[in-house]
Amino acid sequence: MVQKTRRQVIQGAAAALGAASFAPQLMAQAAPVRVGYAMARTGPWTGGAQVSQEPNYLLWAEQQNAAGGLDVKGVKRKIELISSDDRSDTETVVRTYEKLMGSDKVDLVLAPWGSGANFAVAPLANRFGYPFLAPTALSRRLIEMKLPYFFLMLQQPKPMCDALVDMLKANGVKTIAVIYTDELFGLENYAALKVAVQGTGMSLVEEKSFPTGTKDLSPVLRSIKDKNPDAFVGFTYPPDTILASRQAKEIGFNPKFFYASVGTAFPLYKNVMTPAGAEGVIGMGSWNSKTSAGAKAYFDAHVKSQKKEPDRWASGAAWASLEILTAAVQKHGLDRKAIRDYVAGTTHKTILGDIKFVGSENVGTPGTVSQWQNGEFEVVWPPKVATAKLNTSKPAWK
């Protein structure tokens, strides 16, 4: 039998110890990146969530995994999406994210859909230290909460309403009628519009709120029609947007400018109203495939993978949020504090252009207005980012 020297024994033990310590590192590198989120698949939020948000999460994971996995500081690791239906229920959203971040300890989280859901989980993101890039939340209150781990991708009520009012004033509007959903989104946008209108010479001739789930807006639309405003503004969610548009058509209410909010940018809108019926309608929108080469590539990939078009507003913000997260993980791995600092301190190149955050607010992209023209939702204001010229007189409903 060959006797080992004391030096050989020590060297062998050290090698074994090194291999034992290296094995978990190799296993960690090979393990998938666990990415958790809750998303509406049933209930009233479903329309927005399944157009603007979840298809982008699925496309992102598909693309990254097809390329070998997410680049985690130079190491490719497959993405494992851990998701569930939040049933359009705020309590379910909160419980799900508490579990994902608290007991499940997923590597990363993606945001839920809508202002209300994000308002509910924003404090959790800060408590558990998970960077949240929210592509479908509009709320000044979220900014004022000063939560360092929470970032809002969309232009907020003030810049959006400032752009709208600037456009209306530039085109001779004197009177505006406004309706708004009686919850966070509607209330904040209505308040921002009132401030923006002050001192412009324009007046609000009707200001009406309505509860979520309203099935008939025709009485208020008839009242507005009698006042004959130059512009109609609806701070509405997708079902309200379709309802207001259909009933305006039914009663022959066709102001020079007809503006509705969430849902106007959806392909569903032109399909339901027909492209000819949607012609000239304006609303919240920020991009289309003409916006950049990256936007065109994203649009085409979305159609190929998800078998449907992205919307022309929050879908772009959702994809931009994933571009930012991908770059952060490539640079800093899964160190969530380092990811947060990177997001907060970097000017990000995205399909929408440069995005930069001051606190939680995206100050890089301007407030915008878009308009349906010949089957495309064109960015029409401000002119410096427009993809088409504004049609200054809405044609009759068809």
Same domain for 13 and 135? no
Task: Tell whether 143 and 167 lie within a shared domain.
Answer: no
Residue 331 located in a structural domain:
yes
CA–CA gap between residue 176 and residue 120 (Å, rounded): 33
Task: For residues 170 and 275, state if they share a domain.
Answer: yes
Q: Looking at the structure, tell me whether residues 234 and 376 fall in a common domain.
A: yes
142 in a structural domain: yes
Q: Is residue 345 domain-shared with residue 269, that is, in the same domain?
A: no
The total number of structural domains that make up the chain: 3
Please report whether residue 306 resides in a domain.
no
Helix (H, G, I), strand (E, B) or coil at 280: coil
pTM: 0.88
Instruction: Report the C-alpha gap between 205 and 16 in whole angstroms.
Output: 81
213 part of a folded domain: yes
Same domain as 379, residue 247: yes
Q: Are residues 252 and 230 in the same domain?
A: yes
In a domain, 301, yes or no: no
Domain that holds residue 328: 29-155+313-362
Residues 189 and 122 in one domain: no
HSE toward the beta carbon, residue 48, CA cutoff 13 A? 27
Short-list 44, 397, 79, 95, CA closest to 247:
397
Each of the 398 residues of the chain gets a pLDDT tens digit; together they read 444 444 444 455 444 445 445 444 544 557 999 999 999 999 989 989 999 999 999 999 999 999 999 999 999 999 999 999 999 999 999 999 999 999 999 999 999 999 899 999 999 999 999 999 999 998 889 999 999 999 999 999 999 999 999 999 999 999 999 999 998 899 999 999 999 999 999 999 999 999 988 999 999 999 999 999 999 999 999 899 999 999 999 999 999 999 999 999 999 999 999 999 999 999 999 999 999 999 999 999 999 999 999 999 999 999 999 999 999 999 999 999 999 999 999 999 999 999 999 999 999 999 999 999 999 999 999 999 999 999 998 999 99
Does residue 108 form part of some domain?
A: yes
Let me know whether 230 and 377 are in one domain.
Answer: yes
- Within this chain, do residues 379 and 233 fall inside the same structural domain, yes or no? yes
Q: How do strand 369-373 and strand 376-381 relate by DSSP bridges? A: antiparallel
The enclosing domain of 340 has a CATH number of: 3.40.50.2300
- Pair 107, 230 in one domain: no
For residues 105 and 163, state if they share a domain. no
